[in-house]
Chain A
Amino acid sequence: MSSQVTQEALPITVRNVTKTYGRVHALDDVSLDVKSGEFLTLLGPSGSGKTTLLMVLAGFTRPDQGSLKFGDREMIRTPPHLRDVGMVFQNYALFPHMTVAGNVAYPLKLRRTPKAEIAERVERALETVQLGGYGERRIDQLSGGQRQRVALARSIVFEPRILLMDEPLSALDKKLRDRMQIELRHLHEKLGMTTVYVTHDQREALTMSDRIAVVNHGRIMQLADPQSLYEQPENKFVADFIGDSTFLPVHREGSSIVAGGTDLTVTRPVPEAEKHLLMLRPERVRLLTGPAPEGVNAFEATVTDLVYQGESYLLYARLRDGTEIAVRGAIRSETFAELPKPGATAQLGLDAADTVLIADTEG
């Protein structure tokens, strides 16, 4: 199957791309480098500009200004049908008047590929997405997951060097989505195309990407690998958008840093800023049974709610300064009964290594 990689992947260079609709900045001076062969995800809430950016890459949205290069070639004014990028649409956009094979053969026919070669490449592409032998089916005979695979086969059959995907899994149910995430990841490793993937699902982004660009208000808030993004977000938006978190205001008392009434031990670098927030992830906070060990920041709190969620529990507790935070922990057969009930006091611990301070700026 590695024979499918006949062309090298291309890097994408985006420079100062701006797109305004009336007064709204859909894209606000965006610059981005996608490395050759990389799986990069544009992650953001709806209306953040992530889809607009993808449409600029595909050529369906004409920006007001900026530069876009595939490799060394300037593409910003190239019409979409000459860009030679594969794209998987959110609703798949499979042609209903063609069979599965007709859909997959479509880009090859446009490129005047010889008939025998078309048949061979169509079948190979369908096998790649595990739909070998489905060629003669009509589109309306396929399930959602199968349509998704056909759309994928159609977008890779002409061996584009860049692949764009616009929330391709959002219409599938959760189990199928989870499996397709892994499959897409494998496929990317096998084909090696530079891939730009749009989603609003943070878990999907974390699962699949080499790097994630978090987008909001038409700007890239942070571009980093999944782990850095989760562990060390650069601003409140990213910290808030990725994972659940609560924020505690931090003030300085002399040389010490205080949050939630506790003098914090901080080992991680503190970003340059006037004001800071302490980011608390529910799964990084734990219940302490005895006195706080060395290197653990302890908070005194009153339990307000305890929720059973199957594989884990979620405990809400109010700190002395009134802030409510959440604690998530795994449930083994014996633990749930021993957890403190609402009204009880509890000691919450946060390892110094998980004590992340972020700059408190708006936006």
Chain B
Amino acid sequence: MAVTDMNAAGLRRDERLERLRLFGLASPALLLVLVILVIPVGWLFYVSFIGADGSFSLENYERMIKRKSYARIFWTTFQVSLLTTGLCVLIGYPLAYFMSQLPRKLANLCMITVLLPFWTSLLVRTYAWLVLLQKNGLVNNWAISLGLWDEPLKLVHNLNGTLIGMVHIMLPFLILPTYGAMTAIDRDYLKAASNLGASPRRAFWTVFLPLSTPGLFAGALMVFILCLGFFVTPAVLGGGKVILVSMKIVSNIELFVNWGAASALGVVLMVLTVTVLWVASRFLNLDRMTGGGH
């Protein structure tokens, strides 16, 4: 009895201490999250329930329900986000597939070019698109001189421009997790499929695509959620024609100095985003997507 109990209390204390030390390492980050996330979001909630006269009120939310324009803005935001995500999938998946089939060195080089835009300011990239896409911009001039179309097309300050810009900015977010999932697929799976009688095309549809979808979904989800709150690019390239929630928040503050209305929009946008994440996690294994699985 005495032998088995030997040092038991001391060993337990050591274990507790170890855990405490680990917690200590995490505390700066926890403090940071508290200060820059929890407190401001709490404050946002609080402000959204303050009316114009400074007292507690639901008027900010009532306005959203009463005015049709708000519903339209949310609907537009949803549509633009979905379209951007869809286009990113259509462009990004084949590109990621192409890269995953290249030799390692070449694939890394391609990856650098995919990530290159990250090293340029978002604003610069957005205005670059404005220059390229405007009425007498590079794209229109070249297309006309090549005879692709006769009149300058309206490529910017409308939905076209918004989508082109957003897809360009968002593409890396889709490609990264998709490419990651693809390179993790053991080549032997494809060999096995082929050995069992699958043509390269069949092997792709029955083995490669299903095994790469977790990465694709992770990327698509990230793009969609980032799009929901995107401001700079759609604001510049949409030219006021495509109003998203984020723009409405800005105009509420800058034009009308109505912090309550802006906060209420922010809260609704956040709730929507969390809902999307929650629904997605019900259908998909988020653990797998973030690499926690396997």
The CA of A59 and the CA of B200, in the complex, are separated in Å by: 13
By beta carbon, the residue of chain B nearest A107 is B196
**When the two chains form their complex, are residues A93 and B197 in contact, meaning their CB atoms are under 8 A apart?**
no
A27 close to B (CB within 8 Å): no
Considering only CB atoms, which chain B residue lies closest to A140 in the complex?
B294
A84 at the B interface (CB under 8 A): yes
Contact partner of A96 (CB less than 8 A), chosen from B195, B197, B211, is B211
B186 at the A/B interface (Cβ < 8 Å)? yes
A96 surroundings in chain B (CB, below 8 A): 211
| Residue contact B211 to A106, C-beta cutoff 8 Å | no
Give the residues in chain B near A97, CB-CB below 8 Å.
207, 210-211
What's the Cα separation between A79 and B201 when bound, in Å? 13
Report A-chain residues with C-beta under 8 Å of the C-beta of B195: 58-60, 80-81, 83, 85-87, 155
Q: Are A95 and B192 in contact (CB under 8 A)?
A: yes
CB <8 Å contact, A107 and B189:
no
CB contacts (< 8 Å) of A154 on chain B: these are: 196
Instruction: Say how far B20's CB is from chain A's closest CB, in angstroms.
Output: 36
List residues of chain B with CB under 8 Å of any chain A CB.
Answer: 186, 188-189, 191-200, 202-203, 206-207, 210-211
- Please, how many angstroms separate the alpha-carbon atoms of A80 and B193 in the complex? 10
Nearest B-chain residue to A83, judged by Cβ: B195
User: A85-99 toward B: CB 8 Å interface, digit per residue (1/0)?
Assistant: 111010101111100
Residues of B within 8 A of A93 (CB): 186, 188-189, 191-192
Contacts of A107 in B (CB 8 A): 196-197
Chain B: minimal CB distance from A343 (Å) = 45
Q: Nearest-CB distance from A66 to chain B (Å)?
A: 20
Would you mind naming 28 contact pairs between A and B with Cβ atoms under 8 Å apart? Answer: A58-B195, A59-B194, A59-B195, A60-B191, A79-B194, A80-B195, A81-B194, A81-B195, A81-B197, A81-B200, A81-B202, A81-B203, A84-B197, A86-B195, A89-B188, A91-B188, A93-B186, A93-B188, A95-B207, A95-B211, A96-B211, A106-B198, A106-B206, A107-B197, A110-B196, A110-B198, A110-B202, A158-B197
Q: Taking the complex as formed, is A111 at the interface, i.e. its CB lies under 8 A from any CB of chain B?
A: yes
Interface centre among A58, A85, A86, A93 (most CB of B within 10 A): A93
A71, chain B: closest CB distance, angstroms: 18
CB distance from A65 to the nearest CB of B (A): 23
Docked complex Cα distance between A158 and B189 (Å): 18
In the bound complex, CA of A116 to CA of B200 (Å): 27
Q: Report how far A91 CA is from B192 CA in the complex, Å.
A: 11
Chain A residues lying within 8 Å of B207, measured Cβ to Cβ, are: 95, 97
Q: Residue A81 contacts which of B188, B189, B198, B211 (CB distance < 8 angstroms)?
A: B198
- Complexed CA–CA distance, A59 and B195 (Å): 8
Are B186 and A106 in contact, CB atoms less than 8 angstroms apart? no
How far, in Å, is A228 (CB) from chain B's closest CB?
A: 33
Q: CA A155 – CA B189 in complex, angstroms?
A: 13
Task: List residues of chain A with CB within 8 A of the CB of B193.
Answer: 95, 106
3 A-B pairs closest in CB distance: A93-B192, A107-B196, A93-B188
Query: How far, in Å, is B287 (CB) from chain A's closest CB?
Result: 14
CB-CB < 8 A to B192: which residues of A?
87, 89, 93-95
Nearest-CB residue, chain A, relative to B213: A97
